[in-house]
Amino acid sequence: MKTDINATSATTSWPGLIEAYKNWLPVTDNTPVITLQEGGTPLIPINSIGNRIGKKVKVYAKYDGLNPTGSFKDRGMTMAISKAKEEGCEAVICASTGNTSASAAAYARRAGMRAYVLIPDGYVAQGKLAQALVYGAEVLAIKGNFDRALNIVQEIASKYPVTLVNSVNPYRLQGQKTASFEIIETLGEAPDWLCIPMGNAGNISAYWMGFKEYYKSKKSKKLPQMMGFQASGSAPLVIGKVIDNPQTIATAIRIGNPVNREKALIAKKESNGAFLDVTDKEIIEAYKLLGKEEGIFCEPASAASVAGLLKRKNEIQNGATIVCVLTGNGLKDPDCAINNNDASFSSGLEPEIQTIAQRMGL
């Protein structure tokens, strides 16, 4: 448990995850640390979700949407870009459904490198595209999906002097595993369930690595069951085969051929976990609940973890501790928010007290 953190140290002393966990990461004193002080994200109780389950469970959101570029990708990117810099690389490339491209662009440019990002044309949320552009990436939108883009960047990185920073880059998962360390430090123990959305399945693999490392070092006495969730139209790990034309409102996880499939399956098996799909409707229900009952705005892909938890609530043991990973910030996808909410919105009103009071029901 972290103790004795006063307001000043809490706001000024978090150095970023490489500095915080350097003994657990493949870095040396010669590694130039490229950081935006990522990591150290809050673990927030989400009681309205817990109440829907009953059984005295405790449910928390690991809100990784509060990272510097608004997603968990920053955890991996600080490592991948620092190591690329150490190796003298001058340009990086990635395929992305949006968040990886935003993060790669931010960290690469901070390190003085070029960033090439391949995205599926028309299927990247506006906020993410805006970020990649503002961070100064070279954005290449292809007439094809993420899986095709990943094939292309893998081939390019094998032929040209550009470093691949998708999650096949082993440093990415090293950085991302630190989220498990933070969860154990905050709870004082590993949770019983870790609920997480899956796309390319790198993050679930990274979390599992982190949980195992702390367990082996006796920093926790148990390991969580890894519960991975995919969107129904885009659930290759659930149905056990590649999907050629994946579809879902959660564009971040619109992936039909996950590159980290084997690692994720090992995590499921070793942890006695499970993979399940959730429909777009279930994702949006969870997304709205988090917003209007908890004040947490995540992106639709992230809400898959909560949707999945609610769907499997009958299997949860009494008194269990559950962590849902909220991988990305809701501001990433404003179109989804505007089209999917239960708010009342009156526009074009006359700027008069009486009109406003009347609309307020006063």
Question: Which residues of this chain interact with ligand F0G, rule CB under 6 A?
Answer: 71, 73, 96-100, 167, 197-203, 252-253, 299, 301-302, 327-328
Shortest CB 173 distance to ligand F0G, Å: 9
16 or 202: CB nearest ligand F0G: 202
> Among residues 329, 341, 343, which one has the least CA distance to residue 130?
329
- Rounded CA gap, 27 and 231, in Å? 36
Shortest CB 28 distance to ligand F0G, Å: 26
Q: How far is CA 113 from the centre of its chain?
A: 24
Shortest CB 329 distance to ligand F0G, Å: 9
Q: Is 248 helix (H, G, I), strand (E, B) or coil?
A: coil
251 or 320: CB nearest ligand F0G: 251
Helix axes 202-216, 178-187, angle to 10 degrees: 50
Shortest CB 50 distance to ligand F0G, Å: 22
Say if residues 228 and 199 touch (Cβ distance below 8 Å). Answer: no
Instruction: Determine how β-strand 91-95 pairs with β-strand 114-120.
Output: parallel
CB within 8 Å of 130: residues ≥ 6 apart? none
Shortest CB 106 distance to ligand F0G, Å: 13
84 or 118: CB nearest ligand F0G: 118
Query: Which helix (DSSP H) or strand (DSSP E) does residue 94 occupy?
Result: strand 91-95
257 or 327: CB nearest ligand F0G: 327
Q: State residue 324 phi and psi, 5-degree precision.
A: -105, 130
CA distances from 65 to 15, 82, 275 (A): 18, 21, 23
Instruction: Determine how β-strand 225-231 pairs with β-strand 138-142.
Output: unpaired
Shortest CB 1 distance to ligand F0G, Å: 28
25 or 226: CB nearest ligand F0G: 226
195 or 320: CB nearest ligand F0G: 195
105 or 322: CB nearest ligand F0G: 105
Shortest CB 123 distance to ligand F0G, Å: 11
Shortest CB 170 distance to ligand F0G, Å: 14
57 or 329: CB nearest ligand F0G: 329
- Rounded CA gap, 86 and 65, in Å? 28
Which alpha helices (H) appear in 217-326, and where do they start and end?
Answer: 236-239, 261-271, 280-294, 300-311
